[in-house]
Amino acid sequence: MTKVIISGGGTGGHIYPAIAIANALKEINPDIEVLFVGAEGKMEMEKVPKAGYPIIGLPIAGINRSNLFANIGFPKKLITSLTEARQIIKDFKPDVAVGVGGYASGPLLLAASMMGIPYLIQEQNSYAGITNKLLAKKAQKICVAYPKMETFFSADKIKMTGNPVRKDILEVQSKKQEALAFFGLQADKKTVLVIGGSQGARTINEAIDGGLTQLVDAGYQVVWQTGKLYIERAKTSASVFKGQVFVSDFIYQMDLAYSIADVVVSRAGALSVSELCLAAKPAILVPLPTAAEDHQTMNAMSLVNNDAAILVKDISAKESLVKATIELLKDEAKQAVLSKNIHQLAKPEAANEIANEVLKLIAKA
């Protein structure tokens, strides 16, 4: 039996592409056995089993860049995680390993390299993460979503595939009536979808919170994913707008959320950008300024430079985000331009292309 280990995680931006790759592998060959390896206590330990796959957690943690003293325990966690990763590989006996970024992939792919297991890296962002940069030297193949990644990786290893996303995002246009019923909203009003990434976004949340009355008074309705830290405050704010504002800490039915959205307000993580391209939604992007090497701004600019999205800086979001959202909701001609241009950047076959690259590595082994 063919066996594949997929490692990585920490955020939805790493987890959902990993699940999409696993699903594509199983579609090609239902007999493939897939095991996930993540980081203990991180969201992959919940999301991956919900997708139907087994996962083992390592005690690895990321490096704290803002407080160096917080990294005192890092060497021990790394050594322990590497030891455990070697044991996982020994027990599972994979034919190939796949790393999707995030610190959980580090020990697993390092162990794979030491044990002669070929591996593939999937880099979602326009600026390569530190883990993937370190692991790239021994990787057999590196699948990327943006051009000019030769800056970070050896050109002969790079395959331009785009980012894999959940398959249901490909079929959002036909689900609007189902979505209206699910979110309890009205068919005759335009809808803004607000998503701050899988863990929420404080600046976006505060801006939307402060502008809910403006949005509703202007005749619009809101679907608002807040993340866990802001949900109670958001529920209180939304309680006076029954039937006009839907709030949730996490939306699993993103296909329905996209289907109902006339405009999307979002962070600019790689997964969010890829989903917006496939869903062909007019978007206002608010990049997370503290993202490593400011990669979210680079992701956003790849759209803005193609007239495929609007950028609002995080620092000015509280003052200008709601105003920019209302302006775009009113401007149907601009919505049409953004929708057309963002859809041209979509890579609907990304998951299948990456799965095929994985299978090629197995065939070579």
Residue 89 has pLDDT above 80, yes or no: yes
Residues 313 and 175 in one domain: yes
CA geometry: angle 135, 294, 344, nearest 5 deg: 85
Amino acid 118 reads P
- Determine the average pLDDT of the residues in 306-321: 96
Host domain of residue 135: 3-163+348-364
CA max distance for the chain: 62
> How many domains are there within the chain?
2
Annotated binding site for UDP-N-acetyl-alpha-D-glucosamine: 11-13, 125, 166, 198, 251, 270-275, 296
Q: What φ, ψ does residue 298 adopt, rounded to 5°?
A: -65, -40
Residue 211 has pLDDT above 90, yes or no: yes
Per-residue pLDDT at 253: 92
- Assess contact for 286 and 266: CB atoms under 8 A: yes
Interval 166-198: pLDDT, tens: 878 878 888 999 999 999 999 999 999 999 766
Distance of CA 169 to the CA centre of its chain: 13
Residues 222 and 330 in one domain: yes
Interval 223-271: pLDDT, tens: 999 998 999 999 999 999 999 999 999 998 999 999 999 999 999 988 8
Residues 133 and 183 in one domain: no
SS3 361: helix
Residues 190 and 68 in one domain: no
Residues 12 and 99 in one domain: yes
DSSP category for residue 139: -
For the range 318-323, what are the long-range contacts, defined as Cβ-Cβ under 8 Å and sequence gap of 24 or more? Answer: 318/203, 318/206, 318/207, 318/210, 321/204, 321/207, 321/208, 321/211, 321/265, 321/284, 321/286, 322/207, 322/208, 322/210, 322/211, 322/214, 322/215
Residue 76 has pLDDT above 70, yes or no: yes
Residues 135 and 270 in one domain: no
Residues 177 and 159 in one domain: no
Residues 153 and 19 in one domain: yes
Residues 217 and 320 in one domain: yes
Residue 64 has pLDDT above 60, yes or no: no
- Structure tokens of 303? 């759209």
Q: What φ, ψ does residue 17 adopt, rounded to 5°?
A: -60, -40
- Determine the average pLDDT of the residues in 158-165: 93
Residues 174 and 148 in one domain: no
Annotated binding site: 11-13, 125, 166, 198, 251, 270-275, 296
- Structure tokens of 357? 């690259």
CATH number at residue 140: 3.40.50.2000
Per-residue pLDDT at 295: 86
Listed in sequence order, the DSSP H helices in the chain are: 12-28, 44-50, 74-92, 105-114, 130-135, 176-183, 202-217, 231-238, 254-260, 270-279, 295-304, 317-330, 332-343, 350-364
